[in-house]
Structure 1
Amino acid sequence: MAALVLTGLWGAGIYAGHANGHLRFLDRLEATLTDWRTQVRGVQVPPDLVTIVAIDDTVVKRGGSYPLPRADLARVVDTIVQFKPKVVAIDLLLVDRSAAIGDATLANTLATGPMVLAAAAIFPSASETVEPSSNGPLAVLPQAERFLLPLPAFADHADVGVVNVATGQSGSPLSVPMLFRTADKVELSFPLRVASRALDKPLTIAPDHLMLGDRAVPTDTDFALPITYYGPRRTIRTVSAQSIFDGTLNRAAIENRIVVIGAAVAGGGDFYPTPFDSLMPGVEVVSTAITHLVAGDGIVRDRKVRIADALTAILLPMLLVGLLAWRRSAPGLMAAAAVMIAWGGLNLFAFTHGVWLNAATTLAAAVPPVVVFAGMQLWVGGRRTQYFADKSRSLAQFQAPAVQEWLARDPDFLSRPVRQDAAVVFIDLSGFTAFSEKIDPDQLQDLLRTFHALIDKAAVDCDGLITGFLGDGAMILFGLPRAMPDDAARALRCAINLHRRVESWIAALPPAIGGRLGFKIGAHFGPIVASRLGESHQHITATGDTVNVASRLMEVAAQNEARLALTDTLLDAADFQGDPDGILTGPLLTQVRGRSGVVTVWFWRDRNAPSQTAARAEMID
């Protein structure tokens, strides 16, 4: 009896601790189990309600700039409006002024149809906070420091919704907040604005759910909408915005549909890991939430489900321990295992049919008491207890080894964004896009594979981290897993080695190939924000002005008939004293695209290399 009482108290304590924001490792375990359950459920065909118009790599490469100029965006919106959609939702932050003509054109276009624009909630720290003294159902809302709203010229012609999503411990968005608040006001989320406008239904905020007209929208305890993904990227109907510029947009993809315009540019940063796709565009995450709201097919994790979780966390461990105490033999162990398997099957069945029962909390509540009780029986029971204990260890398998491995590592490594100094090197082939249109695909793959291997070798030799291959280019980071005094020096050495190796590689290619290719490298040093995406497969990313400058330096190099552009900041941090085999020219005070400040740039050339006239024939992808 005492064992049952202690087990019940343990289960209640585990649930209460997790519900109150403690035991964060259970969130990681739950995210992993949720991904697994989603994959077991499989890819599903989404309700055909939403069309994503993607501003993708094709648009950027042909237009030559990102973000998309306002005049071009106005053309996209105007074409869509002419095809009579239910609503046009623009998942782009229109918060900065651009060319006056472009802004005016876009403002006039927004007035021609039903529009919803994206805003962003700015939080005072990496975690969303709630005022403990607040009262009423809205007290649980994520409290923002302020809202980043579209320019008034745009907002005057459209509804506005906050576009933030809530990522779990794995980095995967598991829910989308429906309401946000600051100290003095409450804002609706972007998906909720879009759904309300598309359905033309009034929104009502009830104490524990939302109402769209007369239909209840079940939400979590903080008015967040749990989401479950239909499949990998482009499972929701997606068309490229380039089809608008080409005049090939299909009217049937737009008419009487919800149209969401958003970015899907590789390297743009707005990507998330999901169970079906390691990098899903944020616009498709938002579109998933919109589809759930309009179709009513979202997964349920509301107050009633939370009550069921609490009861399961208390009663299931008590049942398992009771079975072990009642039949201190193989039948008792088999009965407990059967109950655990039945619970696992029921949990999976509920998930695949639209009810999200927590698995991690139940495992944490059930496994330790069962293991402890079995161990005590082993200690006092002799040979029969030994047999029983051997069987009971199988229950420990329900606790995923990944949790133990994770706790053995540093749990804080990039679990939240980290600000630090780092060196960034970008490299990109020139002329590759035009060349790739005329070369055999197999030969093209071999060429890229060799180029990537060359970059990988140069990065490894200098202890750099390749954060991603961007088609015919790459980004290399120096400063992780922790900043080192020689980060800048190693980055400089890597950039020079890349210059020499790529130059030699291109020179060794057949003239018909090598004569059409060039390359450009940019390297910079300064503060970055490093973060981690993914769980079992980690994706390291760095953002910030330093990354942007390093990337734009490739353009500066090409504009000045050079192949390697370095900032004085990098040279100073590397304590560069000169290179007998290289020529350093400069300085050049210049602006880089997308940045108002001036950058001091130096250009490095190989003293022993042949003339770099090929650089003058730069072909920008």
Structure 2
Amino acid sequence: MTRRVQILVALVLTALWGAGIYAGHANGHLRFLDRLEATLTDWRTQVRGVQAPPDLVTIVAIDDTVVKRGGSYPLPRADLARVVDTIVQFKPKVVGIDLLLVDRSAAIGDATLANTLATGPMVLAAAAIFPAASETVEPGAQGPLAALPQAERFLLPLPAFADHAEVGVVNVATGQSGSPLSVPMLFRTSDKVELSFPLRVATRALDKPLTIAPDHLMLGDRAVPTDSDFALPITYYGPRRTIRTVSAQSIFDGTLNRAAIENRIVVIGASVSGGGDFYPTPFDSLMPGVEVISTAITHLVAGDGIVRDRKVHIVDALTAILLPMLLVGLLAWRRSAPGIIAAAVVMIAWAGLNLFAFTHGVWLNAATTLAAAVPPVMVFAGVQLWAGGRRTQYLAAKSRSLAQFQAPAVQEWLARDPNFLSKPVRQDAAVVFIDLSGFTTLSERIDPDELQHLLRAFHALIDKAAVDSGGMITGFLGDGAMILFGLPGAMPDDGARALQCSIDLYRSVDRWIASLPPATRGQLGFKIGAHFGPIVASRLGGSHQHITATGDTVNVANRLMEVAAQNCARLALSDTLLDAADFHGAPDGILSGPLLTQVRGRSGVVTVWFWRDQNGPGQPATKAEMID
């Protein structure tokens, strides 16, 4: 597959993964994400910090002080009646009793409490009993109420009490961490629907009609956003007693402040140590259930609850699909460090946006998005690293292969500038040609393997001389080669290095031929021509290109080998090369000339000098030896 197809497949698979994660979690699977979300929610709440709640609710706590006074818990009904009666006298908006009054006690105490409940606006707590740990939906149920938590039955207050008050279900919904994250507003059994305790209290306090819309509630003309199952998400203002709390003992002592009760919502509940009605929250490991309920009441009345409704779920679904695709796309677009940095920036931006939304009242799911994004990004990044390693190995092998054909300086230049010589360049350069004499005749008489061995040894000598002097072999011409000095850029010492390369070639090839067996040695000779002048450097070829030089300078350098052969010499140098090299004589060498001569295929005269090694192993070649 092409890279574009591979990226497209990766993006499609990433989108399917994100959609699958979101759908699986929304349908009640992947429960481990609930614990992660609860942890992240606690963290976001702590980052947001403690907030002052709207001062609407007062909690009258039946705490340890009250129990020590009375000597027992639950509080005797007569004492509870005294607490309620005192509160009613201070004229609250509504009194909510977050205590289950489901069992009979002393007759006089029950009668006293019943009479007291009839004196003011009251809401009593009921409890929903569920048949299993998981809430079920009745088969065939239709409409928005089908998603409600379905209870097996309700534990209702005794009729003697319920006849004088409204009743609301007090259950809360806890996540796997045990922290209440929401409070269901509606509950149902097979034949009835009950309102929650906070909703009953808030409706009575606001004195506005309640309307159940398909995906939210209406308190009068104000919408109350709820989750898909009509649960009210809650976020805590702070640790316990952040919502105004007074001890019921102040009633028995006669010290209760009227301002804490008058025209306020009052919730009576237990905060007795060991009473069992405590929950862990982000700010407090043990928060009384009555304060959790009071938090929900405050949200309903003040309208400051956190939003997690149908629109938020749509954003969650889109984020679970699009964010992983964006991250994978960035890694695919820029496979190196910039891609990783860009993906990291996007993740940081998403985390910042998620936190910003939470602190401003919108609860975007974090756990589902992380589960949708992290695995495909890690898999794709791993595949990219593996493929990058393979590609690095391939490029390294390709570079080693290229090194066999291009000079190191040209390789470095091509790496910096891939368009090097894409357009022809005219400049001065030095050109050296070398060719074996007698090789064609020899190749007809010796074994091909031996012939190949000779060529490899000869090419190795050329390669060493070229590399040592900084030249570039533009090509091996069978039993010869062309070496260029002036690329990738012209240098002041191009002529001097070309001259040194010519002399080194002369000596190394002369010694090599002298070391061959007599039968081979007697058949071989060599000739070298070197010239300096203007050339045109360019790339030749289509899909397989090579760098070369053309022009009169190249032709003259090539023809100087013929001039050397015609004059029983092995190295012919033009005077322009000697001038460029600033040559004033070579140690251990003999320079003869000048010879004014014409070269084949060119008009005009060339001044030529011949150089030979006075200490070399070979003897001056005869004319017959030098002509191939």
Over residues 49-85 of structure 1, what are the superposed CA-to-partner deviations in whole Å (9 max), with x where a residue is unaligned? 0000000000001110100000000000000000000
Is the 2:138–2:190 Cα contact (8 Å) retained in structure 1?
no
Shift of 1:126: 1.8
- Measure, in 2, the Cα distance between the counterparts of 1:324 and 1:355: 30
Secondary structure of 1:277 counterpart: coil
- Measure, in 1, the Cα distance between the counterparts of 2:299 and 2:61: 20
- Measure, in 1, the Cα distance between the counterparts of 2:148 and 2:117: 30
2:206 aligned residue (199, 220, 235): 199
Over residues 567-608 of structure 1, what are the superposed CA-to-partner deviations in whole Å (9 max), with x where a residue is unaligned? xxxxxxxxxxxxxxxxxxxxxxxxxxxxxxxxxxxxxxxxxx
Report whether the alignment pairs 1:217 with 2:228. no
- Measure, in 2, the Cα distance between the counterparts of 1:385 and 1:185: 69
Q: Which residue of 2 aligns with 1:507?
A: none
Q: Percent of pairs identical after alignment?
A: 93
Report whether the alignment pairs 1:227 with 2:205. no
Is the 1:90–1:117 Cα contact (8 Å) retained in structure 2?
yes
2:293 aligned residue (268, 286, 294): 286
Report whether the alignment pairs 1:189 with 2:196. yes
Over residues 541-567 of structure 1, what are the superposed CA-to-partner deviations in whole Å (9 max), with x where a residue is unaligned? xxxxxxxxxxxxxxxxxxxxxxxxxxx
- Measure, in 2, the Cα distance between the counterparts of 1:382 and 1:87: 71
Q: Which residue of 1 aligns with 2:330?
A: 323
Q: Which amino acid aligns with 2:10?
A: A
- Measure, in 2, the Cα distance between the counterparts of 1:298 and 1:384: 54
Q: Which residue of 1 aligns with 2:379?
A: 372
Shift of 1:378: 1.3
Over residues 400-419 of structure 1, what are the superposed CA-to-partner deviations in whole Å (9 max), with x where a residue is unaligned? xxxxxxxxxxxxxxxxxxxx
Secondary structure of 2:126 counterpart: strand
Q: Which amino acid aligns with 2:263?
A: N
2:22 aligned residue (3, 8, 15): 15
Alignment of 1:574-613 (within 5 A): none
Q: Which amino acid aligns with 2:279?
A: Y
Report whether the alignment pairs 1:357 with 2:357. no
Q: Which residue of 2 aligns with 1:474?
A: none
Greater radius of gyration (CA)? 2
Equivalent pairs, count: 386
Q: Which residue of 2 aligns with 1:41?
A: 48
2:112 aligned residue (102, 105, 110): 105
Over residues 332-357 of structure 1, what are the superposed CA-to-partner deviations in whole Å (9 max), with x where a residue is unaligned? 11000000000000000000000000
Is the 1:144–1:180 Cα contact (8 Å) retained in structure 2?
yes
Shift of 1:381: 1.0
Q: Which amino acid aligns with 2:59?
A: I
Q: Where does the alignment leave 5 or more consecutive residues of structure 1 unmatched?
A: 387-621
Secondary structure of 2:100 counterpart: coil
Q: Which amino acid aligns with 2:261?
A: I
Q: Which amino acid aligns with 1:134?
A: A
Secondary structure of 1:91 counterpart: strand
Secondary structure of 1:187 counterpart: strand
Q: Which residue of 2 aligns with 1:29?
A: 36
- Measure, in 2, the Cα distance between the counterparts of 1:306 and 1:221: 9
Secondary structure of 1:274 counterpart: coil
1:125 aligned residue (103, 107, 132): 132
- Measure, in 1, the Cα distance between the counterparts of 2:130 and 2:29: 21
Q: Which residue of 2 aligns with 1:334?
A: 341
Secondary structure of 1:373 counterpart: helix
Shift of 1:130: 1.5
- Measure, in 2, the Cα distance between the counterparts of 1:344 and 1:213: 36
Report whether the alignment pairs 1:237 with 2:244. yes
Report whether the alignment pairs 1:146 with 2:153. yes
Shift of 1:379: 1.3
Is the 1:53–1:241 Cα contact (8 Å) retained in structure 2?
yes
Over residues 230-259 of structure 1, what are the superposed CA-to-partner deviations in whole Å (9 max), with x where a residue is unaligned? 000000000000000000000000000000
Q: Which amino acid aligns with 1:231?
A: G
- Measure, in 2, the Cα distance between the counterparts of 1:221 and 1:51: 30
Shift of 1:382: 1.5
- Measure, in 1, the Cα distance between the counterparts of 2:293 and 2:390: 58
TM-score where L is the length of structure 1: 0.62
- Measure, in 1, the Cα distance between the counterparts of 2:137 and 2:293: 24
- Name the Cα RMSD after superposition: 1.0
Q: Which amino acid aligns with 2:323?
A: L
- Measure, in 1, the Cα distance between the counterparts of 2:355 and 2:392: 32
2:187 aligned residue (168, 177, 180): 180
Secondary structure of 2:88 counterpart: helix
- Measure, in 1, the Cα distance between the counterparts of 2:391 and 2:365: 35
Over residues 340-377 of structure 1, what are the superposed CA-to-partner deviations in whole Å (9 max), with x where a residue is unaligned? 00000000000000000000000000000000001111
Shift of 1:384: 8.1
Q: Which amino acid aligns with 2:230?
A: F
Report whether the alignment pairs 1:250 with 2:268. no
Is the 1:44–1:230 Cα contact (8 Å) retained in structure 2?
yes
Change (3 A) 1:376 1:69: same
- Measure, in 2, the Cα distance between the counterparts of 1:230 and 1:293: 14
Q: Which residue of 2 aligns with 1:261?
A: 268
Report whether the alignment pairs 1:170 with 2:180. no
1:136 aligned residue (116, 140, 143): 143
- Measure, in 2, the Cα distance between the counterparts of 1:385 and 1:121: 65
Report whether the alignment pairs 1:114 with 2:117. no
Shift of 1:127: 2.0
Is the 1:329–1:384 Cα contact (8 Å) retained in structure 2?
no
Q: Which amino acid aligns with 1:160?
A: V
Change (3 A) 1:77 1:363: same
- Measure, in 2, the Cα distance between the counterparts of 1:384 and 1:203: 66
- Measure, in 1, the Cα distance between the counterparts of 2:140 and 2:313: 24
- Measure, in 2, the Cα distance between the counterparts of 1:384 and 1:240: 73
Shift of 1:210: 0.2
- Measure, in 2, the Cα distance between the counterparts of 1:101 and 1:238: 30
Over residues 111-132 of structure 1, what are the superposed CA-to-partner deviations in whole Å (9 max), with x where a residue is unaligned? 0000000000000012222124
Runs of 4+ in structure 1 off by over 4 angstroms are 383-386
Over residues 388-410 of structure 1, what are the superposed CA-to-partner deviations in whole Å (9 max), with x where a residue is unaligned? xxxxxxxxxxxxxxxxxxxxxxx
Q: Which residue of 2 aligns with 1:523?
A: none
Is the 1:120–1:149 Cα contact (8 Å) retained in structure 2?
yes
Q: Which amino acid aligns with 2:330?
A: L
- Measure, in 2, the Cα distance between the counterparts of 1:385 and 1:157: 82
Shift of 1:385: 7.8
- Measure, in 2, the Cα distance between the counterparts of 1:83 and 1:344: 48
Is the 1:379–1:385 Cα contact (8 Å) retained in structure 2?
no
